[in-house]
Amino acid sequence: MTAVPIAPAPASSLLEVRDLRTFFELESGVVRAVDGVSFALDRGRVLGLVGESGCGKTMTALSLMRLVPRPGRIVGGQVWLEGRDLLALPEREMRAVRGEGMAMIFQEPMTSLNPVFTVGSQIAEAIRLHRRVSRRAAWARAVELLDEVGMPDPVRRAREYPHRLSGGMCQRVMIAIAISCEPHVLIADEPTTALDVTIQAEILDLLRTLRERHGMALLLITHDLGVVAEQADEVAIMYAGRIVEHASVLEIFERPLHPYTQALLRSMPGVGSERRDRLETIPGQVPDLLRLPSGCHFRDRCPKAISRCAEEDPALEEKAARHTAACIRV
Amino acid sequence: MTSLAPLVEVRDVHKRFPVGGGLFGRARAWVHAVDGVSLTIHQGETLGLVGESGCGKSTLGRLILRLLEPTAGEVLFDGRSLLALSARELRAMRREMQIVFQDPYGSLNPRMRVASIVGEGLAIHRLGTRRERRARVDELLALVGLPPDAADRYPHEFSGGQRQRIGIARALAVRPRFIVADEAVSALDVSIQAQILNLLHDLQRQLGLTLLFIAHDLRVVEHMSDRVAIMYLGRIVECGPREEIYRNPRHPYTRTLLSAVPVPDPRRRKQRMVLGGDLPSPVRPPPGCAFHPRCGHALDVCRRDIPPLETGRGGHAVACHVFPAERVSAADG
Ligand SMILES: Nc1ncnc2c1ncn2[C@@H]1O[C@H](COP(=O)(O)OP(=O)(O)OP(=O)(O)O)[C@@H](O)[C@H]1O
Ligand code: SF4
Ligand SMILES: [Mg+2]
């Protein structure tokens, strides 16, 4: 059994995101992919960012890295990392932040590696982008990193091309690249979604070991509440571009306040629990960001909605100690 | 349940695929995708089939439907060997078995209206008049919870969950008795996945369907299945009633799989069993028990002899030298 940390966060955070907004202006309308997201992350902690597809998890992560693809644009907010607002930095300085301040593991490990270079050279390249070291030293470090991320036979594997490696091995290479410059914040976007369950377990264990060894903070993006229950200290639940609930992992699982979180937890089949013939469902579809209802964006699927939910846009407010939710009925 | 006759019986089925050869060259090697599988599925039950990617789950599903020809072995449907049927008999038999695929995007023809997609099987089997077929389509759309106007729209106008409903309606159109659901909910979000799982469950009850439910998600399989079979590198390594497999797993691979599933309860953070290494290549499977290189309990015999799948108490079958099935005691009859 690993203890579940419930210690309070220190006053000033390593990473603080304030009212972040990233929009896609399309002919058909404005997609508010990230619509006023705020959260803080402290040294050594794990924040799980959870939500269904298209709710804006990846765009939140890419906004933090300032890597939003066109036609998307960060239209407002602040991203404070160790006392600097990243959104105000010139691109040249931002390049130094990527890798050393904050690094990201992307959603698809297979497609994120370049097929024409060996994995060793891709790791070495990442190191030389930030550190003035010789090619030989960078290569040696790449092999060391492969060893650290649990790659069997790292000397030989460093000379392999990505297509020769399994999905789990590719993900290890991606992690080696991400930690190569010892970032303070690691963002992992669905790091195990494409992997089999036994490989997923190994990668999650690896992330935990690395985090403990290097004291990194982790923003863990996932749609799997099981992964969150196991890995996260805190959880932020996202729906249609916004965080609708944020609390410690115990609070989220034992006292979920937002109707969406409650429904999400009940719609999940659980291992070992008594078999229920029917799962509870959330009616309707995953929201289309171009056709959101007025007021609370969840109201057309919400079992607790009342007429006032169509008029008021609920703000994320503290409803219990260190537990925020965006719902007028809580 | 077990007193009922088996609807599907798979007898020592093998499937090899050639790999590595050029277009006209001889194959350089063979993948043993399915390597001697036997199992039965009883009328009205759901058999869950679990295993990691590449273990042969989908191939086995397709062999059972005879969408693929086995290299060896046979499949019996309702007591009759599919291999012995004439083309006409096979076509008639095909009506009785349908498949729902994983990918709600790729498996529906984008240029066909939903009415034609759902009614395609009816047209192929020339069932009913045009009017009757259309009435049946409307009935099916209602059955799977789609609005009536869905019939005249195209697949791209629907969400993933809705497309999966279209796929299910299509499979049900010809009133099959047996459905293979191959990762039918894997691509869906949790809230939508729950809708489809409930739908499959209700339909099974209402229509008395028999289901082979193929998935890699052990939580979903536990929810859906009466019995569960665990597959590793082309073979069934353990099979039995759901509670047996989940509460009393015997094969080390099954135990590792179950311990790897993250439990959605932060108070039950557990120490996991971790496997070394990747899934070995099915082109050159390890000798003996294919799991031995990753198994913490392997003995010499495991490296030498393939453990047979033997059925013990409570219909719980295991293929392991070290943790064999529990003996049937005299009290069990
Ligand atoms: N290039 C684009 N043009 C228009 N809209 C886009 C574009 N890329 C993303 N979006 C929209 O931004 C929203 C957020 O997307 P994002 O990728 O962040 O979702 P996500 O939560 O990561 O989903 P998933 O779980 O599927 O990875 C979505 O509604 C998506 O449709
Ligand atoms: S504000 Fe209303 S609609 Fe939104 S979650 Fe709360 S009760 Fe439901
Ligand atoms: Mg994403």
List the single residue in B269, B274, B277 with the smallest CB-CB distance to A230: B269
Say what the pTM is: 0.87
List the single residue in A1, A231, A277 with the smallest CB-CB distance to B270: A1
The answer for residues whose C-beta is within 8 angstroms of residue B131's C-beta and 6 or more apart is none
pLDDT over 70 percentage in chain B: 91
In this predicted structure, what is the pLDDT of residue B158? 82
What CA–CA distance (Å, rounded) separates A285 from A282? 8
pLDDT in tens, B179-229: 999 988 887 888 888 888 998 888 888 889 999 999 988 999 999 999 999
Tokens of residue A306, six digits = 């009342």
Interface confidence (ipTM) of the complex: 0.80
Strand-strand pairing, A46-50 and A234-239: parallel
What CA–CA distance (Å, rounded) separates B37 from B46? 18
In this predicted structure, what is the pLDDT of residue A2? 44
B252 assigned to some structural domain: yes
Count of structural domains within chain B: 1
* Distance from Cα A236 to the centre of ligand 3, integer Å: 15
Q: Is the pLDDT of residue A8 over 50?
A: no
Tokens of residue B243, six digits = 């509670």
Read off the pLDDT of each residue in A11-34 and give the average, rounded to a whole number: 91
Neighbouring-strand partners of residue B47:
B212, B227
Contact between B275 and A202 using a beta-carbon 8 Å cutoff: yes
pLDDT in tens, A106-151: 877 667 888 899 999 999 999 998 888 999 999 999 999 999 998 8
Q: Is A24 in the pocket of ligand 1 (CB under 6 A)?
A: yes
* Distance from Cα B190 to the centre of ligand 3, integer Å: 15
Residue whose Cα lies nearest atom 1 of ligand 2: it is A327
3 state SS for A5-72: CCCCCCCCCCEEEEEEEEEEEECCEEEEEEEEEEEEECCCCEEEEECCCCCCHHHHHHHHCCCCCCCE
A209 Cβ under 8 Å from any chain B Cβ = no
Q: Is A53 in the pocket of ligand 1 (CB under 6 A)?
A: yes
Of the two residues B328 and A261, the one the predictor is more confident about is: A261
B203 assigned to some structural domain: yes
Predicted confidence band at B238 (pLDDT cuts at 50, 70, 90)? Answer: very high
Strand, helix or coil for residue B207 = helix
**Helical H segments across A115-166, by residue range:** 119-130, 135-148, 154-157
pLDDT in tens, B81-97: 988 888 888 888 888 99
Q: Is the pLDDT of residue B333 over 50?
A: no
List the single residue in A227, A279, A286 with the smallest CB-CB distance to B262: A227
DSSP-assigned states of every residue in B121-153: HHHHTT-S-HHHHHHHHHHHHHHTT--GGGGGS
Read off the pLDDT of each residue in A81-96 and give the average, rounded to a whole number: 94
Q: Is the pLDDT of residue B23 over 60?
A: no
B330 assigned to some structural domain: no
The answer for residues whose C-beta is within 8 angstroms of residue B135's C-beta and 6 or more apart is none
| Alpha-carbon B109 to chain mean position | 23
pLDDT over 90 percentage in chain B: 51
B324 assigned to some structural domain: no
**Which of A21, A37, A55, A190 to mutate for ligand 1's pocket (most ligand atoms within 8 Å of CB)?**
A55
Contact between A198 and B275 using a beta-carbon 8 Å cutoff: yes
B332 assigned to some structural domain: no
pLDDT in tens, B117-160: 999 988 888 888 989 999 999 999 988 888 888 899 998 888 77
In this predicted structure, what is the pLDDT of residue B105? 67
Residue in chain B closest to A206 (alpha carbons) equals B274
What are the Cα distances from residue B144, in Å, to A283, B46, B119? Answer: 14, 19, 14
**Residue B257 is which amino acid?**
L
Q: Is the pLDDT of residue A86 over 90?
A: yes
Residue whose Cα lies nearest atom 10 of ligand 1: it is A33
Q: Is the pLDDT of residue B171 over 50?
A: yes
List the single residue in B159, B216, B220 with the smallest CB-CB distance to A286: B159
In terms of Cα–Cα distance, which of B159, B262, B207 is closest to A226? B262
Q: What is the maximum alpha-carbon separation in chain B?
A: 67
Strand, helix or coil for residue B13 = strand
Q: Is the pLDDT of residue B315 over 90?
A: yes
Contact between A196 and B198 using a beta-carbon 8 Å cutoff: no
Contact between B272 and A205 using a beta-carbon 8 Å cutoff: yes
Contact between A196 and B218 using a beta-carbon 8 Å cutoff: no
Q: Is A55 in the pocket of ligand 1 (CB under 6 A)?
A: yes
B333 assigned to some structural domain: no
Predicted confidence band at B270 (pLDDT cuts at 50, 70, 90)? Answer: low
Predicted confidence band at B285 (pLDDT cuts at 50, 70, 90)? Answer: confident
Read off the pLDDT of each residue in A40-59 and give the average, rounded to a whole number: 93
Query: How many helices (H) and strands (E) would you count in chain B?
Result: 10, 12
Closest ligand, as measured to the CA of B189 = 1
Buried b (16+ CB within 10 A) or exposed e, B183-192: bbbebbbbbb
B323 assigned to some structural domain: no
In this predicted structure, what is the pLDDT of residue B22? 56
Read off the pLDDT of each residue in A211-240 and give the average, rounded to a whole number: 94
Q: Is the pLDDT of residue B12 over 60?
A: yes
Predicted confidence band at A7 (pLDDT cuts at 50, 70, 90)? Answer: very low
Which residues in chain B are contacts of A160 at CB distance < 8 A? none
Query: To 10 degrees, what angle do helices A259-266 and B190-207 make?
Result: 50
Q: Is the pLDDT of residue B2 over 60?
A: no
In terms of Cα–Cα distance, which of B66, B59, B69 is closest to B34? B59
The answer for residues whose C-beta is within 8 angstroms of residue B330's C-beta and 6 or more apart is none
In this predicted structure, what is the pLDDT of residue B160? 78
Q: Is the pLDDT of residue B1 over 90?
A: no
B326 assigned to some structural domain: no
The answer for residues whose C-beta is within 8 angstroms of residue A123's C-beta and 6 or more apart is A141, A142, A145, A146, A158, A173, A176, A177, A180
What CA–CA distance (Å, rounded) separates A126 from A252? 37
Predicted confidence band at A94 (pLDDT cuts at 50, 70, 90)? Answer: very high
What CA–CA distance (Å, rounded) separates B82 from A205? 47
Phi and psi at residue B54, in whole multiples of 5°?
A: 85, 0
**What range does the domain containing B16 cover?**
6-318
Report the CATH number that the domain containing residue B236 is assigned in CATH.
Answer: 3.40.50.300
